[in-house]
Amino acid sequence: METQDGAELCFPQLFNTSCRKLTSPWFEVMLIHIFLYSISLLTVALNLLVILSVSHFRQLHTPTNILLLSLAVSDLLVGLVVMPGEILRRTSCWYFGDFVCFLYNYLSAIIPASSIGDMVLISVDRYVAICDPLHYNTRITVNRVKLCVCLCWLYSVSYCFLFVKDDLTQPGRYNSCYGECVLVVDNVLGAVDVVFSFIVPVTVIIALYLRVFAVAVSQARAMRSHITAVTLQLSVTPKAKKSELKAARTLGVLVVVFLMCFFPLYSVFLTDDILVNASSASYVLFVFYCNSCLNPVIYALFYPWFRKAVKLIVTLQILQPGSSETNML
């Protein structure tokens, strides 16, 4: 009987302190793993295409695309690191020790924080492009956007360390048994996180986009009339305005989908005990992580340049000399 019990433990040699393995039919476990790892692999592949597209083709090095590139890096890390780790610790035992658990929890906190920051920056970018088009090219430059992206990631790294520092100084303090990896956030930090990672950024995003769409619908003609002083600009402006409005609609879809996947996560945290490994958080975490797979699909549906770039990448034409100068727009 003792041998049978020991066979169900994550670490049979630690009979008194080891966690027990989850007991489920092997066929069911196999189907779950195939499904979840397929989504993880698809997330990595699609976002890698986005990263290669924006990085390789010089014409795509625009401020807006730099923000999409940063978001794609976050989404790639979700599929490459966060999803597999989440699958492992929820369907099996954690065999990698407390320090790797700390690193995983740290990274899985940084990535959503950076994604939220990217969404705020995308909203600001569209706000300036639509509501102040005359000054867009001078205010929103590639170098400034790169600096903002770096600051966003730096902020995420610093901010998220507050939530995992106890795991570094006292590894495994919240584990109920050996072979478990959990992250527990106390009530004070949880309240701070709700304000700075949910209420403030969501309010900013919604407020900016409401303004963007109000201007796009009611003042598009007035905006065109403001920049017709120069004859040369007159022929270029309508096309530019049309492309900016189209980009605003596309990125609006991106933001709405993100919020739809983001709201359930914090809804659970607001009503639950903010225990990341609680069963009530499993479904909403999966929905939130699936957003990383949906973003490239949105690009494919709305951006012709992305479809063209994918075709050139898949056919290996990007390996040809001078391919980075290809006209993508």
Which of 112-116, 239-243, 287-291, 324-328 bottoms out in mean pLDDT, i.e. has the lowest? Answer: 239-243
Mean pLDDT, the chain, integer: 81
Which candidate, 106, 101, 112, 103, places its Cα nearest to that of 75? 112
Q: Is the pLDDT of residue 52 over 90?
A: yes
pLDDT at 45: 95
What residue ranges do the domains of the chain occupy? 25-325
Q: What is the pLDDT of residues 313-329, one digit of tens each?
A: 999 999 988 888 988 87
Cα torsion angle, 165, 166, 168, 172, sign:
negative
pLDDT at 130: 83
Residue type, 100: V
Show the tokens assigned to 104: 């995983």
pLDDT at 245: 67
- This prediction has a pTM of 0.84
64-84: average pLDDT? 93
pLDDT at 272: 52
Q: What is the pLDDT of residues 116-153, one digit of tens each?
A: 999 999 999 988 988 888 888 899 999 999 999 999 99
pLDDT at 95: 86
Q: Is the pLDDT of residue 111 over 80?
A: yes
pLDDT at 60: 93
pLDDT at 232: 41
For helices 83-91 and 280-302, the axis angle rounded to 10 degrees is 150
Instruction: Write phi, then psi, for 93 (nearest 5 degrees).
Output: -100, 155
Report percent pLDDT > 70 for the chain. 83
Q: What is the pLDDT of residues 205-238, one digit of tens each?
A: 999 888 888 877 765 555 555 545 444 444 443 4
Instruction: Report the alpha-carbon distance of residue 292 to residue 251 in Å, rounded.
Output: 15
pLDDT at 257: 87
25-325 sits in which CATH class?
A: mainly alpha
Higher pLDDT, 33 or 54: 54
Instruction: Report the alpha-carbon distance of residue 51 to residue 318 in Å, rounded.
Output: 13
Residue type, 123: S
Instruction: Report the alpha-carbon distance of residue 158 to residue 91 in Å, rounded.
Output: 30
pLDDT at 285: 77
